[in-house]
Every structure is written in C-alpha cells, then in structure tokens.
A and B are shown apart, each in its own frame.
Chain A
Amino acid sequence: MNRLPLRATLTVFGVALLALALAACGSSEDAPAGAKKLSFKITDAGCLPHDASAPAGPITFEAENDGSSGVTELEVLDGETILGEKENLTDGLSGDFSLTLEEGEYTIRCNGGDQEDGTLKVTGKLASKSSPEVEEAIANYREYLEENTEELVTTTKPFVAAVVAGNIAEAKSLYPGARIPYERIEPVAESFGDLDPRIDARENDVPASEFGGFHRIEKALWEENTAKGMAPVAEQLLADVEELQGKVKNVKLQAVQIANGANELLGEVSASKITGEEERYSHIDLVDFKANVEGSQVAFEAVEPLLSKSDPKLAKEIEADFEAVYAALKPYERGDGFVNYEDLTKADTRKLAQVIDTLAEKLSQVPAQIVSGEQG
C-alpha cells in the first residue's frame, strides 16, 4: 500500500496518459496541428453549446465570454478531475486550450451557469504514433502484468481457503507466497481507485471499519493468533484480486508509465519495506522487498531497449545496480524465504537502504530519457 494520497498515485498511472500526451506535444496553450476545434460561448445559461462531440485525438477548446459577469471559466473534466481549463474570461474576453483525449464521455463545465455541466462525447481510437520498440516494450510488460495477476489469484485461493477453514498454520505458511505477485505489480493495482486499499491497506491507512485485505488477516494470524471472523475478509480479498485480474486486461499502458512504475516500486521498498512497516505482524518484509525489486527490474527491462538508444551507459549502470541489490539481499535468504525483519540490525537495514537509493537515483532518470529517445 502506497502512502501517497490516492490523487497522487492516480496521476502516475491513470491520468498520466493524458498528461504525457500533452507533454509530448508541448504546452496545452499551443494548439497542435490538425486539432479538432470546438468553440463555446460562456453565458449566464452555462456553456453554449452545452454538449459536444469530437473524434479521439487532439482537441482545441475555444471559449468566449458572451456578456456574462457571473460565469468566467470553462473546464473539461474526466469525472471530477480537471483536465484543462480557461479561467478569468470576463465579458468580451476569449481564450483557448488543447487536450488530447481518448474515447469516452467527459464533462464540459461553466461554473455558475444555470446549467453548469454538459457532455463531451469522444469517439474512435487515438491514432498510435508509437514505434514498434515502444509497442514491444508495452506488450512485454503487459504480459508480465497479466501473468502476475493470474498468479495472484492462484496463490490467494489456497490462502483464503486455509483462513476460511481456520487452519492458522497453513494460512501463515501460504501468506508470503500470496503476497509476492501483488508486490511485483503494485503500482498498476494502485491505479484502480480503492482496489489497492481494499487488498493491501495497513491498519490506520483506512478507517477502522474498512480495514480488510491481506494485512487485516495478517494481524489476525500473527498478532491475535486466530482466524476467527476472518472468513468474510478472506472471501472479499479473493473477490478483489479477481477483480484486479479482470481490470488489468483493459489497462492502458505507456512506456513512460512503465518506467515510472519501476521507480515507484523502489519507492515502496524505501518507504515501507526497509522500515519494516509493511508486514508489521508477520515481519516478512524482505519477501515483499525482493518482489518489489523483481517487479521494478522487469518494468525496467521492458523499456531498456528504448533507453539503450539514448543513454546506453545509464542502462548498463542500472543493470549492475539491480545485481548489487540482489547481492545485498542474498545473505538474508533462508530457504524459499528470508530472515524475519526483526532479526535485521540497523547496520543491515542501512546497507540495504543504500543499495536501493543508489539504484533508484539512476532509475529516476529513465522516464525522461525514454521520451527523448522516442523523439530522437
């Protein structure tokens, strides 16, 4: 569970699609070539016309205040997220902004008008400008994503069955393995609104009445030493991971998002695994640690061919740094798992934190490099 507020995580994996498209074609103030123009008048009645439609792709929104003193802005929203707006258009003023929109229904809003909201219908597919390398990177990562959500369902099923049957020992032994596929792909799960909190929230992350998922069961098994009352929680968990498996099939991915995801996974390691906060009852934090790193590495490797074009030296250094992380983890491996987090000394965690920081500092340069590689 990421500690960032939902809005921030959404930005990275959901809304980022649009933001990135914009970044690629310059600031939203510049009308991209070939953009569809939609003109609106801002009036006391609201935006005129209230409703509009356009094909998927770049759209320029022109707004002109036609004699309204109370209504001075026009916004385009996806749900309640503002994608673009023109503000402070007083009587007689006009302005425009551009967005690249994919298929869907959006809201056109003139705040304070008699009818504030209208609907913008966008139809058709965005023309893909991606190179074959980019397509391949996305396809490779998508495969990994689907494999892991499928494995998550597979590993969660027997865990849930053991919890429902009240078999504490069995449930405890299955818990770490069930966590691994989730930890590898967590940033994607975080893009689906409240699905991540439902599956992976820690106590205090959510209101007590909503505390469920893996960590609620972890607390029962390790701290309360019981599975009593956990059957409904376990069944909901299975339903949630199945929902996740379904949702990732339709998730849209961009190369930059995948690279950002690689970073986020290391952020997860730094923020909650090295500190022992994630698995505070079972102390299997190093299991999650390794899974996060594996997920990060696969995400990196998916985009690595793009990076190798623009900065082969950086790509090589990152490869070596991943190996350094595994080497640093090695002394703590025990059989299929790892030592208990509580057995680590401060010097141990310090060393682990250092190798992660070193890798993450370099990995954080990748998204920008990929974009420059795509353009170049």
Chain B
Amino acid sequence: MSPITRRRLLTSAGIGAAGIGLGATGYLVGQDSAEANGDGTGTVAFYGEHQAGIDTPAQDRLHFAAFDLLSEDPAELRELMQEWSKAAAEMTAGEMIGDVNYEELAPPDDTGETVGLLPSSLTVTFGFGPGLFAKRGLGLASKRPAALKPLPPLPSDELDGLESDGDICVQACSDDPQVAFHAVRNLARIGRGIVAMRWSQLGFGRTATTSRSQDTPRNLMGMKDGTANIRAEDTEAMDRFVWLGPGDGPAWINGGSYMVTRRIRMLLEIWDRSSLEDQEQTIGRHKYSGAPLGGSDEFDPLDLDAKKDGQPLIPANAHVRLASAKVNGERILRRGYSFTDGVDESLGELEAGLFFICFQRDPFKQFVPIQERLGTMDALNEYIKHVGSAVFAVPPGARPGGYVGEGLLA
C-alpha cells in the first residue's frame, strides 16, 4: 500500500502547484519566498539558514508547547532533536510521520488526524531554555549564551510556575488549527520518556503582521495589533534586531534568535466596560482605523510630540508611546496569538488574552527594557496581567539531513 501524503492528495486535486514547487526547492530559494497561503496550499520548507516560523508570514493558528527534559544523557537529547527534526520536516511537507502506519497490530506512528488535510503552511520552530544548560549531565554549561538566562522579575508579573519556563519549546504555526495541534501532539509522543510536556498553549488567531503582504489583525481588545512590527521583508531590521550574527554569542547560535513568550491574560470584562475614548487613550490609537491619535490612517507616523490644549495628543502612559522604538530605541519581532482557555474558574469570566511571542537578538537589551517601561507605566496594565513567561534560545535552521541544535549537540 502506498502511503498517503497530504502533498500527494494536494497534487491529485490539481491545486497548489506553486506551493509544492516552493517546498521542493525551499532550501535553495529560502523561506522568505515561501508563501503562507491562507487557503492551506502553502508549504514552508523546514530546512534552511534560519528556522522557519520566525520570518515566515504569521500563520493564523498556533499550538505552542514547553517541555521539561527528563534525561541528562546528551546522546538521548541528540537523538530526540534528530527524530523531532525529521518528523517536523515530514509534517511540514504534508507527509505522515514514521514508517509504521499500516501494521494491523501496531499503533500507527502518525496519529492520523491530518490525513486528507493540506500542509497549511505548517512551521515547527524549536528553542532551548536556560534550564537545559543547567543540567550537569548534559555538559552544556560552557555553551550557554550570556543572553540566555531566566528573565528578571518584571513589573505586573503574576506568574504561574506551571505556565512558565521549560527546557525545550516547540512553536507550531499553521493556517489549520488541527495541523498545528497534530505537530505538537506527535512530537510529544515521540519524546515520551525523554521530555514531558510542562505547559502548552493554543492560539486561535494571529495578532501580528510579519510581512508586508499581510493586513494588520485585531487583538481581543478590538485594536489593530502589530502596525509598527518589523516586517520580514525589511532584512536590514531583521539583521539588526532579530537574527544573531557572528560574535553575538557562541557559534552554535549564529543564524538563530531569542524567543520570549508571555501569556498575557486580558481582563476583557473590564475592558469592555470602558468608553471608546478610554480605550483609545489607553492604546494611543483610534480603535477602528488603527491610526495614531490625531491621525486618520493606520500607517500615519506616530507623532509623540504633538500636543492638544497643551497636553500630549498621545498620552504619556499610552501603550504605543511606551512601546515605541522612538522611546526605547529597540525593536522586537512580535508574533503573538489570541487565546482562550474556557472559563476562569474563580471568576466565571472568559479566560482569554494574548499569547505574546517575540524574537530578538538579546532579550535583556530588547524585551526586558521595553517591558520594564510598560509594566511600570502602561495605561494598559489596568486591563492585563502577565501570567506566564518563558525565554528560549532559537538555534539556526537545519540543513537537509541535519537537525535543529546540531551545532550545540553534535
């Protein structure tokens, strides 16, 4: 019996030829040119200079998981990253994972819920947390980049330990939620006994734009989010703020980045009761157009000096002002997702918000100072709390036949 591949289904349906071409030659042409098509036909190459899922146009859905490493055997960790990379490459290509899928008496290697679904621009991005380098048996202490350490306590933190940290992370993004879920589920299964899932997060809608080809989405506050985000096409900004180059740390991380995740719970009931004016003053943008206060177009420049009746047009504590690169001098690539996890047990309110993800060259020079400023002064703090936090070093991409983290673990 010939194995079903999702790509083959797609071919036989006579669509998505462009997506296939890109997938097949993705390594040569680079991920930048791989389109994340919302119709599911997009294929993003797993192998490349950088890991996919950073400069890939943000897909609509997320399943993110952080794992604790149970083993301190370097060989086991290496084998895990080899197997994970192989499976991730198969899944992003729209293929079933593993060899045993048709054996009557054996559980299939692939759990099967994506059979018949399109590749849906799946990307799988791996990261290593600071805890990995603290495990003595692994002997990685000397390879820990200086910029990879637990974040300091930050203002407005209300962290839950079981929703924070992790030794290894998997960020699966796709235009189909089931494809993203399948990726995390199958990697968790492959890792059984070596890693245990510590926490995971589903994101149902992107809240960031990472490509000029995309419109700015709205977050759950109804505000456009990510207007001023770095666009992947802006390679100068990517190199300056996101990608690690020679000399940025140990050689193994060259071509990689650092990821910070924050589970930000939004107090939506309170937000919804505040007036339109309050909402706009809090953010510093008009709700519907997304334009800075006083402007009319989303992309009007942010004029932080503008005054009205002697007062700043954009309030001193408005979110856009405090987050602006004009104030901080630093930028980050945001790639977050809206989430909901049902009902907050103790309040009977929506347990929902923003699963914030950002990439940068140094979290301590980029995310941390920005958040210190925001956490202290941001008018938005009245409506949010940070309940989960994690930081990971994201290794560069793998070459075909290689695996993510090879530079560190080989």
Within 8 A of B (CB), among A158-209: none
CB closest chain-B residue, reference A353: B196
Q: Are B105 and A23 interface neighbours, CB within 8 A? A: yes
| Residue of B103, B105, B106, B189 contacting most chain A CB atoms (<10 Å) | B105
Q: How far is the CA of A23 from the CA of B189 in the complex (A)?
A: 27
Q: Which A residue's beta carbon lies closest to that of B107?
A: A364
Question: Please, how many angstroms separate the alpha-carbon atoms of A371 and B106 in the complex?
Answer: 10
Interface: B143 (CB within 8 A): no
In the complex, the chain B residue whose C-beta lies closest to that of A317 is B193
A23 to B102, CA, bound (A): 13
- Pick the residue among A321, A364, A367, A371 that contacts B193 (CB under 8 A): A321
Cβ contacts under 8 Å, B365 to chain A = none
Could you tell me the distance in whole angstroms from the C-beta of B146 to the nearest C-beta in chain A?
32
Which of B106, B189, B196 is A365 in contact with, Cβ under 8 Å?
B106
- Return B243 CB to nearest CB of chain A, in Å: 36
Assess the A365–B107 pair: CB atoms within 8 A.
Answer: yes
Contact with A along B115-133 (1 / 0, CB 8 A): 0000000000000000000
Taking the closest CB of chain A, its distance from the CB of B76, in whole angstroms, is: 12
Residue of B with least CB distance to A351: B196
In this assembly, does B236 line the interface, its C-beta being within 8 Å of a C-beta of chain A?
no
The 8 Å CB contact of B103, one of A357, A362, A368, is A368
Chain B proximity of A321: nearest CB distance (Å): 7
Assuming the A-B contacts A23-B105, A256-B105, are A368 and B100 also in contact, with contact meaning beta carbons closer than 8 angstroms in the complex? yes
A53 contacts the other chain (CB 8 A): no
Residue of A256, A321, A354 most packed against chain B (CB within 10 A): A354
Which chain A residues lie closer than 8 Å to B107 at the CB level? 364-365
**B192 close to A (CB within 8 Å):** yes
- Interface of B, secondary structure class, is loop
Q: Are A371 and B105 in contact (CB under 8 A)?
A: yes
Name A367's contact: one of B70, B105, B189, B196 (CB within 8 Å): B105
Q: Which of A340-376 contact B (CB under 8 A)?
A: 350, 354, 357-358, 361-362, 364-365, 367-369, 371
Interface assignment of B269: CB less than 8 Å from any CB of chain A: no
Cβ-defined contact, B192 with A357, below 8 A = yes
Contact between B105 and A354 (Cβ–Cβ < 8 Å)? no
Q: Which residues of A contact B305 (CB under 8 A)?
A: none
B106 and A368: CB pair below 8 A? yes
Which of the four size classes fits the interface of chain A?
10 to 19
Q: Within the complex, what minimum Cβ distance (angstroms) separates B176 from chain A?
A: 26
The chain A residue sitting closest to B189, CB to CB, is A361
Judge whether B193 and A361 touch: CB under 8 Å. yes
Enumerate chain B residues within 8 angstroms of A371, measured Cβ to Cβ: 105
Report the bound CA distance from A364 to B193 in whole Å: 14
> Which of B103, B106, B192 lies in contact with A358, CB distance below 8 A?
B192
Q: Is the CB of A367 within 8 A of B106?
A: yes
B interface, how many residues as a size bin? 10 to 19
- Give a binary string over A302-333; 1 marks a CB under 8 Å from any B CB, 0 the rest: 00000000000000000001000000000000
Q: Within 8 Å of chain A (Cβ to Cβ): is B104? A: yes
Beta-carbon nearest neighbor of A365 in chain B: B106
Give bound CA distance, A341 to B94, whole Å: 44
Bound-state CA distance A321–B107 (Å) is 19
Indicate if the CB atoms of A361 and B105 lie closer than 8 Å. Answer: no
* CB under 8 Å from chain A, chain B span 187-225: 189, 192-193, 196
Q: Which residues does chain B contribute within 8 Å of A361, judged by CB atoms?
A: 189, 192-193
A350 to B70, CA, bound (A): 13
Closest A residue, CB atoms, query B194: A358
- A-contacting residues, B50-105, CB 8 Å: 70, 100, 103-105
Distance A358 CA – B100 CA, assembled complex (angstroms): 19
* Contact code string A215-245 (vs B, CB < 8 Å = 1, else 0): 0000000000000000000000000000000
Query: Is B192's CB under 8 angstroms from A368's CB?
Result: no
For the complex formed, measure the closest distance between the CB of B104 and the CB atoms of chain A, giving whole angstroms. Answer: 5
* Smallest beta-carbon distance A141→chain B, Å: 18
Q: How far apart sit A357 and B193, CA to CA, in the bound complex (Å)? A: 8
Give the shortest distance, in Å, between B108 (CB) and chain A (any CB).
11
Residue in chain B with minimal CB distance to A346? B162
Q: For A368, list chain B residues within 8 Å (CB).
A: 100, 103-106
A352 to chain B, nearest CB (A): 12
- Give A357 to B190 CA distance when docked, in angstroms: 12
Complex contacts, A23 vs chain B, CB 8 Å: 104-105
Chain A residue nearest to B193 (CB atoms) is A358
Complex Cα distance, B104 from A345, in Å, reads 39
Q: How far is the CA of A362 from the CA of B196 in the complex (A)?
A: 15
Specify which chain A residues have a CB less than 8 angstroms from the CB of B105 in the assembled complex. 23, 256, 367-368, 371
Measured between C-beta atoms, what is the minimum distance from A221 to chain B in Å? 33
In the complex, the chain B residue whose C-beta lies closest to that of A362 is B193
A321 to B106, CA, bound (A): 19
Seen from chain B, the residues whose Cβ lies within 8 Å of a Cβ on chain A are 70, 100, 103-107, 189, 192-193, 196
A-B residue pairs, 6 tightest by C-beta: A368-B106, A358-B193, A368-B105, A361-B192, A367-B105, A364-B107
* A-B residue pairs in contact (CB < 8 Å), sample of 20: A23-B104, A23-B105, A256-B105, A350-B196, A354-B70, A354-B196, A357-B192, A358-B193, A361-B189, A361-B192, A361-B193, A362-B193, A364-B107, A365-B107, A367-B105, A368-B100, A368-B104, A368-B105, A368-B106, A369-B106
Beyond contacts A354-B196, A361-B189: 13 other A-B pairs, Cβ-Cβ < 8 A, are A23-B104, A358-B192, A358-B193, A361-B192, A362-B193, A364-B106, A365-B107, A367-B105, A368-B100, A368-B103, A368-B104, A368-B106, A369-B106
